[in-house]
């Protein structure tokens, strides 16, 4: 027998009481119970898993919209902070995390490279250009646990079409909940996605939840994964993934290896357990199959999204200064905050002609040598920032 899943902890209670205030139009959602729709998803998923050749899909990219619904100024995260979350997801969902080497030998062969990339959406649902980030100031604290979070009319931010975008809300979920994610079939479309507390979003410096893995875990739920211990404290309930060992209940903190309870050695270092960020390091091949099946399956279908991506180097992340200026042509650019990505710089002469363009991996500093060009005024552009450079030999 399957036990109820507890992915939206106290949240369901909050929603149950508020539901009537927001009539839902245009979906048959209200006609069936959550339990029924979750079960329907799982039945279909089983069929889909047994039929499809899921590993041969071409690279999958999921466009993301981040709804920053902030109250205190520090909750209004910077573009750099948001981008660091996208990069953390790409690290974890492509087995690019350096700490993967800490997976114990007995589990090494089970590591799943999910092969999904995430990007900030470049086009909004109306076809307009966007950077995939929406910012809304709200006037109540604790918005992350309120139904209003999902509705612009309530002071929150409306979901974008869930078959094309992964909706991530960044909002204050209080002191006890780091975030939550909707399991397929559990939420109506307008509340489907994940919610993460701003203090745990991105590479945020927090000693326990600083690596962006609250979002990794919640996207696991969003893509059909259950907690690795099967959400009930016994050895018979499992997560319906064959290659994750049975486990009685959640592990917290950062346990020593090995740990046993139900199985000789339990996989507490899985992203779907409750350990701290530095101690969760893998998804398995079985979890991968379940996530891929969910991607191409109702109610998600997001695996086929046609939405364009913003490339990480297109976002204006930093401002920069050129020095010395004037110079003999050798100029140092300093970026604050430091960039993390490829930056394309372009140099134009005073007639507007492009005389140099180059892509460089930039962090804090970039050296440019323009000494081959004659004395004069030049314009140096990176992203949308342009500055005048004077060369005087």
Tell whether omega for the bond before 211 is within 30 degrees of 0, i.e. cis.
Answer: no
DSSP 59: P
Buried b (16+ CB within 10 A) or exposed e, 16-26: eeeeeebeeee
Least CB distance from residue 385 to ligand ARG, whole Å? Answer: 35
Q: How far is residue 278's CA from residue 216's CA, in Å, rounded to a whole number?
A: 13
Question: If DSSP codes are grouped into helix, strand and coil, which group holds residue 327?
Answer: strand
Rounded CA-CA distance 222/219 in Å is 5
Catalytic option among 147, 190, 218, 266: 218
Q: Up-side HSE of residue 204: CA atoms within 13 Å toward CB?
A: 25
Between 190 and 231, whose beta carbon lies closer to Ca ion? 231
32: phi then psi, degrees, rounded to nearest 5: -120, 155
In angstroms, what is the minimal distance from the CB of 258 to Ca ion? 17
d(Cα 44, Cα 24) in Å, to the nearest integer?
25
Position 266 contacts Ca ion (CB under 5 A): no
| Nearest distance, CB of residue 88 and ligand ARG, angstroms | 11
For residues 179 and 299, which CB has a smaller minimum distance to ligand ARG in the complex? 179
Residue 238 contacts Ca ion per CB under 5 A? yes
Q: Which does 309 bind (CB under 5 to 8 A by kind): Ca ion, ligand ARG, none?
A: none
Q: Which long-range contacts (CB under 8 A, 24 or more apart) does 107-110 make?
A: 107/267, 107/269, 107/282, 107/284, 110/243, 110/282, 110/284, 110/285, 110/286
In the bound state with ligand ARG, the residue whose beta carbon lies nearer, of 191 and 382, is 191
264 among known catalytic residues? no
Nearer to Ca ion, 75 or 231 (CB): 231
Q: Which residues here bind ligand ARG, judged by CB under 6 A?
A: 7, 177-181, 209, 213-214, 217-218, 274, 276-277, 280
Partner from ligand ARG, Ca ion, none contacting 193, C-beta within 5 to 8 A by type: none
Q: Give which of Ca ion, ligand ARG, none residue 217 binds (C-beta under 5 to 8 Å, depending on kind).
A: ligand ARG
Is there binding between residue 92 and Ca ion (CB under 5 A)? no
Partner in contact with 277, chosen from Ca ion, ligand ARG, none, beta carbon below 5 to 8 Å by kind: ligand ARG
273 binds Ca ion (CB under 5 A): no
Sequence-distant (6+) residues with CB within 8 A of 219 are 89, 93, 166, 181, 194
Assess contact for 307 and 164: CB atoms under 8 A.
yes
Query: Quick one: DSSP state of residue 285?
Result: H
Work out whether 237 is an interface residue with Ca ion (CB under 5 A): no
Nearest distance from residue 94's CB to Ca ion, in Å?
Answer: 23
The number of residues that bind Ca ion (CB under 5 A) is: 4
Kindly tell me which residue out of 116, 241, 291, 366 binds Ca ion, with binding defined by CB under 5 A. 241
The interface partner of residue 378, options being ligand ARG, Ca ion, none and the CB cut-off 5 to 8 Å by kind, is none
Residue 110 lies near Ca ion (rule: CB under 5 A): no
Q: How far is the CB of 98 from ligand ARG (least distance, A)?
A: 17
Please identify which residue in 130, 204, 237, 244 interacts with Ca ion, judged by CB under 5 A. 244
**Interface with Ca ion by CB under 5 A: which range of 69-77, 127-135, 190-198, 243-251?**
243-251
Q: What is the DSSP string of 121-146?
A: ESB-TTS-B--SEEEEE-SSTTGGGS
Whole-angstrom distance, CA of residue 237 vs CA of residue 249: 10
CB of 181 or CB of 303, closer to ligand ARG: 181
Stretch that binds Ca ion, among 186-194, 203-211, 242-250, 304-312 (CB under 5 A): 242-250
In the complex, which residues of this chain contact Ca ion (CB under 5 A)? 238-239, 241, 244
Known catalytic residues?
218
């Amino acid at each position: 027998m399957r036990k109820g899943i507890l992915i939206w902890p106290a949240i369901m209670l909050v929603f149950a009481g508020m539901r009537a205030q927001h009539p839902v139009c245009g979906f048959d959602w209200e006609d069936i119970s959550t339990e029924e729709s979750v079960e329907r998803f799982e039945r279909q998923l089983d069929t889909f898993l047994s039929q499809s050749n899921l590993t041969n899909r071409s690279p999958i990219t999921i466009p993301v919209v981040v709804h920053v619904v902030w109250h205190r100024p520090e909750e209004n995260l910077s573009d750099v902070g948001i981008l660091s979350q996208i990069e953390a997801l790409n690290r974890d969902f492509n087995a690019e995390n350096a700490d993967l080497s800490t997976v114990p030998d007995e589990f090494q062969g089970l590591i799943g490279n999910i092969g999904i990339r995430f990007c900030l959406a470049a086009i909004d649902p109306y076809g307009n250009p966007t950077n995939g980030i929406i910012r809304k100031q709200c006037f109540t604290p604790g918005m992350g646990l309120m139904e209003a979070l999902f509705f612009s009319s309530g002071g929150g931010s409306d979901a974008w079409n869930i078959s094309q975008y992964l909706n991530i809300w960044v909002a204050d979920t209080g002191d006890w909940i780091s975030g939550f994610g909707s399991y397929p079939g559990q939420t109506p479309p307008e509340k489907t996605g994940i919610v993460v507390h701003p203090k745990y979003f991105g590479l945020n410096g927090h000693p326990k939840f600083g690596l962006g893995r609250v979002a990794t875990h919640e996207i696991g739920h969003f893509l059909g994964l259950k907690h690795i211990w099967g959400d009930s404290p016994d050895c018979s309930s499992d997560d319906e993934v064959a290659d994750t060992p049975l486990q009685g209940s959640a592990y917290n903190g950062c346990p020593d290896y090995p740990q046993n309870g139900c199985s000789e050695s339990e996989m507490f270092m899985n992203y779907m357990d409750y350990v701290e960020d530095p101690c969760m390091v893998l998804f398995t091949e079985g979890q991968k199959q379940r996530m891929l099946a969910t991607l191409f399956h109702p109610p998600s279908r997001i695996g086929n999204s046609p939405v364009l991506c913003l490339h990480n180097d297109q976002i204006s992340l930093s401002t920069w200064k050129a020095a010395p200026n004037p110079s003999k042509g050798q100029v140092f650019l300093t970026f604050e905050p430091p960039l993390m990505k490829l930056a394309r710089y372009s140099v134009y002469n005073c007639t507007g002609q492009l005389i140099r363009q180059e892509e460089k991996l930039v962090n804090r500093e970039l050296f440019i040598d323009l000494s081959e060009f004659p004395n004069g005024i030049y314009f140096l552009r990176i992203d949308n920032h342009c500055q005048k450079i004077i060369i005087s030999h």
